[in-house]
């Protein structure tokens, strides 16, 4: 059984000036450019009334102890 990838990857062509602005905005929020784009897209969709569910991600780090 094949596993579905956790994230969808695709190429995105941006104007260099737009990419630089995204880098600056991401740095202010301590995010990657990719994470900043996701936040901005979610905000724009919410503003238009489009609901986007968050996909559950596997927890990172050490598993909890079984004590």
**pTM greater than the 0.75 cutoff:** no
Task: Give the separation between CA 18 and CA 28, rounded to whole angstroms.
Answer: 16
38: pLDDT strictly greater than 80: yes
Q: What average pLDDT does the structure give for the chain? A: 88
CA-only gyration radius of the chain, Å: 16
The 3-state secondary structure of the chain reads CCCCCCCCCCCCCCCHHHHHHHHHHHHHCCCCHHHHHHHHHHHHHHHCCCCCCCCCCCCCCCCCCCC
pLDDT score recorded for residue 59: 74
- Domain edges within the chain: 16-47
């Amino acid at each position: 059984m094949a596993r579905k990838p956790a994230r969808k990857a695709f190429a995105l062509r941006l104007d260099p000036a737009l990419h630089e602005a995204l880098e600056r905005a991401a740095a202010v929020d301590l995010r990657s450019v990719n994470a900043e784009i996701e936040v901005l897209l979610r905000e724009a969709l919410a503003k238009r009334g489009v609901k986007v569910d968050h996909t559950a991600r596997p927890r990172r780090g050490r598993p909890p102890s079984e004590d």
